[in-house]
Structure 1
Amino acid sequence: MSGIPIELELQISVQPSSQPERESQIQPPPLFQQHVPTQDPPQPPRDQQIQLQSELQQPESNSEHQHRTKSAWITLRWLLLLLLGFSFGAAILGVMCYMYHNLQNRSKNLEHTETPCLSQACQRASARLSMSADPFKQPCDYFLFTCGSDRLSTDSGGRQRGQGIPGHPQNQKERAVWPERGGGTKAIQDKWLREEKLHDRKTTLLQYLREILESNDRPVGTAVQKAKGFYRSCLDTKSIETAGAEPFLTLIQKLGGWAVSGQRNQTDFNSTLRLLMKDYSTFPFFNLYVGRDPNETVHGTTKRYIQIDQPDLLIPIEWNSKTQKSQARTQTLRPFLASCQRYLALLGAPPKSIMIHVGMFISLSSEFAVAASPLHYRLSKGQLYQRMTIKQLQSQAPAIDWLGCLQAALHPLPLTENEHVLLHNLPYIVQMSRIIGKWLSRHELSTSSPLHTYMVLNLLHTMMPALDSRFYETANNLSASLGNTDEVAPRWTHCVLETERGFELVLRDLLSQRTAHRDVEEIIQNIFSAFKSKLHELKWTDRNTLQQVMYKVQSLNPRLWTTKEKSEEAELDLLFSKVMVKTNSFFSNYVQLQSLWRNRRTQLLTQQTEAPDILSVTPLLLDDELLFPMGMFVPPVFHPTYPRAMNYAVIGFLMAKDMLHMLLPDIYSQSETVHAVGECVWAHYLNVAENAERGGGFLSQCCSSRRSGCSILHCR
């Protein structure tokens, strides 16, 4: 077959040999007709020529048969063409339908992916983020690790009385000893005002708690109703202004009266002190809180101890480095004197006796001030965490009934004189006892009773957040005279903080109910895994440092900081069953708050695990656990209805930055990569800034405001 022409092969395949001879003369359809070659075809053999001649001589009757056959082939040809055309048209139509359907699906999918998030949380976040400041306007705050700014300072934080009160003169940046969370006696706003000064994050959390307290969810338990009722009574400034100073004057009568007002029953000094500590969380002569011993914490001990510290003195003091003693600030004595006179006048003291009582109060306060000392001095002298029993403390400072006062402050917890306590300024405690003994022997039986007046004015500062605006304005004027220029927080902020002080368990439960635990745990694990993987990609200056860091990071267990067991509504209702919230008497509610605070302090002494702090907005490293508080995962920075990209871009970035600051504070000196990244960030800032010269000004401002070398911006 290899020698047969192609045209012939096709003709043979169409006309098989088994076909009768007379049918072999029928012409095939034009579709299969072959092109006649130009050269002469090969001559057939002799026998075939004879056969063809004989066939040509057949009768003419066969012509009709040939005509019918030819007509059948023509019909078959058109049917084949019609079928072929129909098939081709159907194929074209099918392809067009497929393409159209595919384009429609792609259009729908594209439209679906571009559909904006229309949930209420997304709309609020959109409005909030659209009003946010450009991060490149303050490069130090957004891109630096150590810029020497207070905004990035790390204080352990603690809840102490005094600092949340406008005008409180105690040095707020140099606390005596920062107690463990939950210790102390005053406002949570202390922590809000100083904890790393993360105002944006803290304000976001407080706004979310505000929404919870102002919501009208039904049905709710009685504990939740009481928490919301307390919050509403705090906002009712009209009732507070109407009540004036009368509620506090009534409270003084319960303490046996007051010599300033001319009516005072002779009461024992220690019995009055016990009452102040038990029912009103007021500690005029020393501070009391509960916390761990850091010397034992390194060994894994979780025991908590009673800790005694010097008090938050009302009188402004300063440290004299030459004499190594504290002293009253002379330039502030006049405004302090004026504020004390104003307080006594508001409490109805006779004008003629005001100066006598104020003079003794300042004199007594000055003696306590001399005995106090700042933190850095006590650290250098090893005066922190000195352990002794209550019995030993009693022998060192006999003027105070220590066992009776501590039992009152930690009621109903039983204590014995063999209980160990930790002291943070024993010389002050000893000197304070001597001062009290001296003044008791001189004035206890006199009509002035300076020690009693001292305790009453300290109680006034404890209860001042529940009094009318005249007291607040007096305190604010003193604060301004001391150089305090902090902006005053709005009333709702103050009320949220005070509500959390007493109803922390209720708000913790409400916040936990609104936290998407599964989504939060997922993002925590993913961000932490990415954080660990990125550490390997850094170019480390020291291989040993990398191994130490990786060992530290690998040993951590990251998780959401929440309680193991969820509080039942019935349990919360029973716990707050004795609290009677009055809608139009915030002062009465505030007095009950002090008892709740005492219960909370007592629980801290017995519990083994660290209770979640719902006001925390940064991770906490506790033993081998990296705890992320629920307060980080609130709108507008996080919500389960947000697109995943937004949650990871916002809260994921904050988590990564917090982990880097906490786990690797000196990463700049350990990694070459950070230098390169810093230069890249700064170059990017210069490119996107509207005015490069303006950017240079920011750089100069950044470098000039630092105390040490500006790290990531590479200031020169």
Structure 2
Amino acid sequence: MLLPPPTPIQGGWRPEEVEGNTTLGQTRSRMETVWTQQGSREEWSYRRALLRWGLISTLLLSLILIFSVLLFYTFHSCGPRPCKSPVCLELVASYLTMGNASALPCTDFYSFVCGNLTWASESRDMLQVLKEKNQNQLRRILEASVPWPPDSAEEKTVRFYKACMDTDAIDASGAEPLMQVIEELGGWHISGNRTLPDFNHTLKLLMSQYGNFPFFKAYLRPQPSPPHVPVIQIDQPEFQIPFRPVQKNYPEILRAYLSYLQQLGTLLGGDQKVVLEHASISMTITSNLLLASKSPDQRKREGKLFQETTIAQLQEVAPSIDWLPCLRAIFSPMILSPSQPIIVHDLEYIRGMSNVIGQMPKDGYRDYLQSHMILGLVSTLVPALDSHFQNAQRNLSQKLQELAGQSPITFNIPRWKKCIEETGAFFEPTLGAMFVQKTFSHGSRDAATQLFSEIKNALSRHLKRIRWMDEGSKREVQTKLSQLKVEMGAPAEVLKPGATTQDYEDISFGPSFLQTFLSCSRALRERTVRGFLEPPSRRSWKISPWEVNAYYSMSDNVAVFPAGLLQPPFFCSDYPSAVNFGAAGSVMAHELMHIFNQYCGHTYQDFPILTTVVPGGCPACDIPTLYEEQLCLRQHYESFSLPAGSTFNSSHTLLENAADIGALLIAMKAYRKWQQKHKGETILPRLGLSPYQLFYQSYAQVVCGSPNPQHAQDLHSPPILRVHGPLSITPTFARYFNCPRGTPMNPGRRCQLW
């Protein structure tokens, strides 16, 4: 389209005007040509401008659209993504099954997380569930059709398990293998075939060759004080009757046990009258030994633990025992002399035990002592004997539970579980390595190690905020943290190929399972003694790699986390980090908090009710503030109501409660620090929980358990208190779950121990 001619304006150009001699027509013609040319150029220019602006506009719109899409996905990906891997979906199902969605988190978080912890009408805790899962994994490993190299450690481990499972062969052997053992010990009156060796000779054989300690227990353990070198320790035996004369229904208990001993003697072919006579005297010996003994708590109160003496001095105190020959036989190849230092846990019991032996009637006393020792040996060998012996022991156990007024326990333990227990006892390093190789990859180990590093660093950073500790004590803890050793999964030495093959060279597989069992028992004792005589080995764990309990050793400054614990549902490298920090991370932090036990265990005269048995203390610390916070904790835990049948002692559980609270605090600090450094956090679908809420859900999951009466030796509070106690004292929990102030999980006052 041509541009229109300019409109004439006043004082401007007019058509009737001429330029020079040009006529009006010529002028008009020339101007039309100019207009036409000028219009064509401007029109083309305009079109190009429109085209250019159109292209630019289109490009801008495209860029805006692309940017919007990218911005959408960018913001969308910044939020937590749901983890939909199989292990995460399995964990979601577990959480939904266990939890009670109708419970209010701010009122009863334990019920919210653990309210439906019941399967098949049997209440169990989560650690027990994981333990059973690990046992099933061990069973699959031992029953797998794997062609292990002949005489390798793995082949012997599997062969022992299969021999244990061959109940047909064990029953076919009957009592004959056991009769051979009795003959090796000199026979006994009940069998009618005896040579009656010297009492101390039989005792020495029993302890050194069969691992049976009828009168006292002897073992190697590190000294309780530095430098913690191994030392022989003498203690009371494991009594066959686990009840004392003051026990309710004690006469009925004695009758039940007497009936059991009669069954054993009859199964070995003895005459009923002779068996009854010898079993009755054996019961008298046991009762007299029990009268001379004291409970561990009583000995501790009286200061009779860890009494240092020598073998020669022990011989004077208890002359009925030939101590030097016996101890030489037990602890071969140790070189012992009469001046050898040893530790006795109760010299009064050892003196009383010697008197019981020395006061036996002279007429036939050797027969009676021999019968007492052999009947005790038979009881310890029952796991390797035929079903008749096992049924007799099972019936006794059930009867003793009834007489003690305890809840009935099912004793029909599957044979495979018993065999796994025996296999683990004799072949622990190899079975542990097999378990780790199957369930705990290098990636899992690295992830767990990194998680622990985050926890340790968080504790190191938090130290300066502990207001009751003095600067010197804080530096001591920092040094402990910097020098701390950590073991993940299993000792590194047992994971090396062929590392344990030489440990089993002395094991022989006999024609009967009992002979194999005894050969393994002797090899284990010799291996244990050699292990104490050699330089300290990282193989020496207090727990097996498939167990579900972690621990911190104050004397060794080492934290141990077995592979059996670092399994789903507590840990998995594919889980959201909130789960791993809340579950496994809190367990790691809990063990580290025990570093503070020696500082929290100081006695303060104004608070005698809070005194603990932990040695050490922190004299330079702010003791009034420390005990004010400990008193606060005690009152805080006592403010919660417990389910019927649950009991606890707040002073007894004080250190563990403090460790729970500190662990939760440190694990959350570590998780928040991790979030600042990493992106791409995930959550569990279907739960509707944010990452921080998921952290606390996972923490509670670890300690979910049945509200059963607390065991006398358990230093932990009941599960419901292990959830409500720490969480209700944690401000961030109330913030992330929007708990109004004054609700049970957001009380008005909070203790500030840490």
Normalising to structure 2: TM-score of the pair?
A: 0.67
Relative distance call for 1:645 and 1:277 in structure 2 (3 A) is same
Report the counterpart of residue 647 of structure 2 in structure 1. 705
How far apart are the structure 2 equivalents of 1:477 and 1:336? 11
Report the counterpart of residue 371 of structure 2 in structure 1. 453
User: Cα distance, 1:400 vs. partner?
Assistant: 1.8
Over the aligned positions, Cα root-mean-square deviation in angstroms equals 4.7
Secondary structure class of the residue paired with 1:628: strand
Answer yes or no: is the 8 Å Cα contact 1:387–1:420 preserved in 2.
yes
Report the counterpart of residue 505 of structure 1 in structure 2. 429
Relative distance call for 1:359 and 1:42 in structure 2 (3 A) is same
Q: For 1:153-187, what per-residue CA distance to the aligned partner results, in whole angstroms no more than 9, with x for missing partners?
A: xxxxxxxxxxxxxxxxxxxxxxxxxxxxxxxxxxx
Answer yes or no: is the 8 Å Cα contact 1:389–1:418 preserved in 2.
yes
Report the counterpart of residue 350 of structure 2 in structure 1. 429
Answer yes or no: is the 8 Å Cα contact 2:572–2:580 preserved in 1.
yes
How far apart are the structure 2 equivalents of 1:405 and 1:258? 21
How far apart are the structure 1 equivalents of 2:242 and 2:645? 33
* 62-71 vs 463-472, which moves further: 62-71
Letter in 2 for 1:392: Q
Q: For 1:591-636, what per-residue CA distance to the aligned partner results, in whole angstroms no more than 9, with x for missing partners?
A: 2231133124313432453612324612213336240322432333
Letter in 2 for 1:644: S
How far apart are the structure 2 equivalents of 1:491 and 1:547? 56
Relative distance call for 1:478 and 1:414 in structure 2 (3 A) is farther
Answer yes or no: is the 8 Å Cα contact 1:282–1:459 preserved in 2.
yes
Secondary structure class of the residue paired with 1:281: coil
Answer yes or no: is the 8 Å Cα contact 1:335–1:481 preserved in 2.
no
Letter in 1 for 2:381: M
Secondary structure class of the residue paired with 1:632: coil
Relative distance call for 1:384 and 1:99 in structure 2 (3 A) is closer
Secondary structure class of the residue paired with 2:244: strand
How far apart are the structure 1 equivalents of 2:646 and 2:495? 51
User: Cα distance, 1:494 vs. partner?
Assistant: 2.9
Relative distance call for 1:573 and 1:133 in structure 2 (3 A) is farther
Letter in 1 for 2:375: L
* 672-681 vs 699-708, which moves further: 672-681
- 2:184 matches 1:259: no
User: Cα distance, 1:423 vs. partner?
Assistant: 0.9
Report the counterpart of residue 687 of structure 2 in structure 1. none
User: Cα distance, 1:455 vs. partner?
Assistant: 0.8
Structure number, greater radius of gyration: 1
Structure 1 residue runs of 5 or longer lacking an equivalent are 1-26, 145-195, 321-325, 683-695
User: Cα distance, 1:588 vs. partner?
Assistant: 3.2
Secondary structure class of the residue paired with 1:455: helix
Report the counterpart of residue 20 of structure 1 in structure 2. none
Letter in 1 for 2:648: R
Report the counterpart of residue 11 of structure 1 in structure 2. none
How far apart are the structure 2 equivalents of 1:522 and 1:376? 40
How far apart are the structure 2 equivalents of 1:407 and 1:134? 60
Structure 2 residue runs of 5 or longer lacking an equivalent are 112-124, 602-609, 611-624, 652-716, 730-743, 748-754
Report the counterpart of residue 373 of structure 1 in structure 2. 294
- 2:309 matches 1:388: yes
User: Cα distance, 1:708 vs. partner?
Assistant: 4.1
- 2:575 matches 1:575: no
- 2:447 matches 1:519: yes
How far apart are the structure 1 equivalents of 2:313 and 2:210? 27
Secondary structure class of the residue paired with 1:570: coil
Report the counterpart of residue 655 of structure 1 in structure 2. 588
Q: For 1:629-685, what per-residue CA distance to the aligned partner results, in whole angstroms no more than 9, with x for missing partners?
A: 224323332233334333223211333344446746969984999999999999xxx
Answer yes or no: is the 8 Å Cα contact 1:306–1:605 preserved in 2.
no
Answer yes or no: is the 8 Å Cα contact 2:430–2:494 preserved in 1.
no
Relative distance call for 1:28 and 1:427 in structure 2 (3 A) is same
Match of 1:314 among 214, 231, 240: 240
Letter in 2 for 1:333: L
Relative distance call for 1:140 and 1:98 in structure 2 (3 A) is closer
Alignment of 1:274-289 (within 5 A): 274-289=204-219
Relative distance call for 1:133 and 1:436 in structure 2 (3 A) is farther
Normalising to structure 1: TM-score of the pair?
A: 0.71
How far apart are the structure 2 equivalents of 1:141 and 1:454? 55
Report the counterpart of residue 590 of structure 1 in structure 2. 517
Answer yes or no: is the 8 Å Cα contact 2:249–2:403 preserved in 1.
no
User: Cα distance, 1:214 vs. partner?
Assistant: 4.3
Alignment of 1:281-680 (within 5 A): 281-294=211-224, 297=225, 300-315=226-241, 317-318=243-244, 329-439=250-360, 441-444=362-365, 449-467=367-385, 468=387, 469-483=390-404, 484-485=406-407, 486-488=409-411, 489-513=413-437, 514=440, 516-534=444-462, 543-545=467-469, 547=471, 550-551=474-475, 553-557=477-481, 558-561=484-487, 563=491, 565=493, 568-581=496-509, 585-609=512-536, 611-612=540-541, 613-614=543-544, 615=547, 617-623=549-555, 625-630=557-562, 631-660=564-593, 663=596, 670=626
User: Cα distance, 1:335 vs. partner?
Assistant: 1.6
How far apart are the structure 1 equivalents of 2:12 and 2:105? 103
Relative distance call for 1:247 and 1:641 in structure 2 (3 A) is farther
Letter in 2 for 1:410: F
How far apart are the structure 1 equivalents of 2:512 and 2:99? 40
User: Cα distance, 1:382 vs. partner?
Assistant: 3.3
Secondary structure class of the residue paired with 1:345: helix
User: Cα distance, 1:408 vs. partner?
Assistant: 1.7
Q: How many pairs does the alignment contain? A: 599
How far apart are the structure 1 equivalents of 2:299 and 2:73? 74
User: Cα distance, 1:340 vs. partner?
Assistant: 1.6
Give the % identical residues.
25
Report the counterpart of residue 163 of structure 1 in structure 2. none
Secondary structure class of the residue paired with 1:383: coil
Answer yes or no: is the 8 Å Cα contact 1:117–1:643 preserved in 2.
no
